[in-house]
Chains A and B, each alone.
Chain A
Amino acid sequence: MVLVLFGVLVITFLLSHVVPADPIGAILGPQAPLEMVEKIRHEWGFDRPLYEQFVDYVWRVLHGDLGKSIRTNRAVTRDLMNYFPATIELATFSTFLAIVMGIPLGIISAMKKDKIPDHFARVFAISGISIPVYWLELVMLIVFYYQLGLLPGPGRLDPYMTYPPRVTGLLLIDSLLAGRLDAFVNALQHLIIPSFVLGMFGAASIARMTRSSMLEILRKEYVRTAKAKGLRERVVIIRHILRNALIPTVTVIGVTYGGLLEGSILTETILAWNGLGQYATGSFLYLDFMAVMGVTIFIAVIYSLTNLFVDILYAYLDPRIRYG
């Protein structure tokens, strides 16, 4: 895994530095005098040989220094820490919804295979991978906010509302810690549309995996043995079928979490959700080298950690892997 992350560093670095476009020029504008562009380029160290820049960069990353963002003029690391919690809150809430919606759907779909619930679930699952996230968000905004006024619009809180003092950066927790029930409720309301939409996509892939896993398990010999022992249906379903069928689903949940990080990039801008996604989009469009690298590496690391965690969980759940 270390090798992989190193490769990630290399790829990200190459992408940002071996680039046709020139960020300094882009930021200063085409009118800027050449000497000024050169001066700033020198200041930032972009005129040194590539190899040198890379080594320097790796060294700094290992010390937690991801460089300075050209756009915000702050340390990238600080920026990331600032914007990270908003996205985490969204991703976690969405994953929770995805699990709650997806697993039951997958189970029902498998047990009533080829009947109406199954067809509905399959269409739902396919829609999940056919609908653009940002589009659905827009539609939800149009319907529930602009037309019906039922749910709040963009932003994590209503514009007039003040943020509770920042402890974790997670609004739901911070507002409770500060005793601000109004902020808590408001934050929850603002979470509904984005996390429901993101959750729906997660639910689609979770349902899919659960369904196919269930179908495979239902055919297994030991399910028949369990029934032959005269066990109650509930015991057979929970202890024998689900206990086995849900193991692969754990992997999908991990992947979903990663996918939600992606989804956040596409949706945070529309929703004025000041999280990682918005930061990333801004960095990409501005060709803010340091920030681009920082964000990409950061997301890759989270993704890898999530996968690692899921692998460990999988091993814990399946004794065949645990004891080989």
Chain B
Amino acid sequence: MSEELLTVRNLVTHFYTYRGIVKALEGVDLTVDRREVIGLVGETGSGKSVTALSIMRLIEPPGKIIGGEVIFDGRDLLKLSDEEMRRVRGKEISMIFQEPTLALNPVLTIGLQIQEAIETQDIRKEDTEKLATVMLEKVGLPDPERMFKNYPHELSGGMAQRAMIAMALSMKPKLLIADEPTSSLDVTVQAQILDLMKKLVEEIGASVLYITHNLGVAAEICDKIAVMYTGNIVEFSDVLMMFEEPLHPYTQGLLNAIPKLGHDLYTIGGEVPDLVNPPTGCRFHPRCQEALDICSKAKPQLIEVKKGHLVACHLLKY
């Protein structure tokens, strides 16, 4: 069994809107190994969520996955039939979302919603109920039997997120995709949820693709980080190296932008590009201080510049 669990190659996803074609993902490359936590970091609009949804094949019209490969555990997910893909979801790859109280069905009890996730042919109904209650306990919810009968609107944000985690991990998936799971929670609750996730994921031996716009949070729980900018991965390396030696100008900008006492606030100049008419060549070049002539003409590929450190930038060839 290879080390690689998920390999995304050249993933392209477009959205056909009345304003034009939004080129959300323009060739995304990503690797997640087994038992690894990978962070996917980027600004709003960089395409992080679209990447996650594309991997899960949950992109709906007017969006469409145009091309690329998503190789999971040896199979290309993009080539599976709808039914086969459905069987992958929830069982081999699970996903949790940003606003847990909105992501839960308001008219069903949370116990039932977890039970749903567990239902397969092999397990009987009475057992799924028990299993669901056990999961509620595992995620640290008090009084699991009573909690089972509660409705989502009766839960706080933190509790609801725990319930979602219960749902997602109940079938012991190989990969958990977490799309900004703590962004809408209080800071203290955030820490608790992160700890919970770390613990449970290690227990079942799963990998995590952790999506966030917050580099600090990513640094806390991720082994490696992929930085995303406007539809492309621009840098990918393990956490330490990324913080010590960021190679891509955008990553450097992000790190500089973290407020430090005693220093002026640094911002990356320019605006986020329009995805309908993105800049030619390297999409970051209009905002890049060190842009070369070639940067506006040719798109840089993501290449391994040092061991385990990939960057997509023309500067590094010279």
Contact = CB atoms under 8 A, between A and B. Distances in A.
A221 B99 contact: yes
B106 interface: yes
A231 B90 contact: yes
A225 B97 contact: yes
Q: Is the interface of A mostly helix, strand, loop or mixed?
A: helix
Interface in A197-238: 220-222, 224-233, 235
B32 interface: no
B17 to A, nearest CB: 14
A231 B151 contact: no
B107 A318 contact: yes
Contact of A228 (B95, B104, B105, B108): B95
Interface stretch (B18-26, B81-89, B213-221): B81-89
Contact of A243 (B94, B107, B154): B107
A229 B105 contact: no
Given A231-B116, A320-B151, A323-B151, A226 B105 contact: yes
Given A227-B89, A230-B86, A320-B151, A240 B105 contact: yes
Nearest to B90: A230
Interface in A232-269: 232-233, 235, 239-240, 243-244, 247
A319 interface: yes
B303 interface: no
B149 to A, nearest CB: 10
A197 to B, nearest CB: 35
Given A239-B108, A319-B153, A320-B106, A228 B99 contact: no
Contacts of B248: none
A224 B58 CA distance: 8
A71 to B, nearest CB: 51
Contacts of A225: 97, 103-105, 164, 167
B106 A228 contact: no
B91 A230 contact: yes
Contacts of A232: 86
Interface in B126-183: 151, 153-154, 164, 167
Given A224-B97, A320-B151, A229 B103 contact: no
B117 interface: yes
B189 to A, nearest CB: 19
B103 A230 contact: no
B56 interface: yes
Contacts of B106: 222, 244, 318-320
B191 interface: no
Interface string B179-197: 0000000000000000000
A230 B77 CA distance: 14
Interface residues of B, number: 26
Contacts of A231: 86, 90, 116-117
Contacts of A244: 105-107
Interface in A301-324: 317-320, 323
Nearest to A113: B61
Chain A interface size, under 10 / 10 to 19 / 20 to 34 / 35 or more: 20 to 34
B97 A230 contact: no
Contacts of B95: 228
A229 B117 contact: yes
B153 A229 contact: no
B102 interface: yes
B58 A229 contact: no
Contact of B97 (A221, A235, A239, A319): A221
Nearest to A318: B107
B97 A229 contact: no
A222 B89 contact: no
Contacts of B167: 225, 229
Given A221-B99, A235-B116, A320-B153, A228 B94 contact: yes
User: By CB atoms of chain B within 10 A, which of A224, A226, A230, A318 has the most?
Assistant: A230
A318 B153 CA distance: 11
Nearest to A235: B116
Interface string B290-315: 00000000000000000000000000
Given A239-B108, A244-B107, A229 B90 contact: yes
B153 A222 contact: no
A230 B164 CA distance: 14
A228 B56 contact: yes
B58 to A, nearest CB: 6
A230 B107 contact: no
A231 B108 CA distance: 15
B154 A323 contact: yes
Contacts of B104: 222, 225
Interface in B47-101: 56, 58, 86-91, 94-95, 97, 99
A321 to B, nearest CB: 10
Contact of A221 (B56, B86, B103, B153): B103
Q: 3 closest A-B pairs (Cβ-Cβ)?
A: A230-B90, A230-B89, A229-B90
Given A229-B167, A319-B107, A323-B153, 10 more contacts: A222-B105, A225-B105, A225-B167, A227-B89, A230-B87, A240-B108, A243-B105, A244-B105, A318-B106, A323-B154
7 contacts: A221-B97, A228-B90, A228-B94, A229-B90, A230-B86, A230-B88, A231-B117
Interface of B: 56, 58, 86-91, 94-95, 97, 99, 102-108, 116-117, 151, 153-154, 164, 167
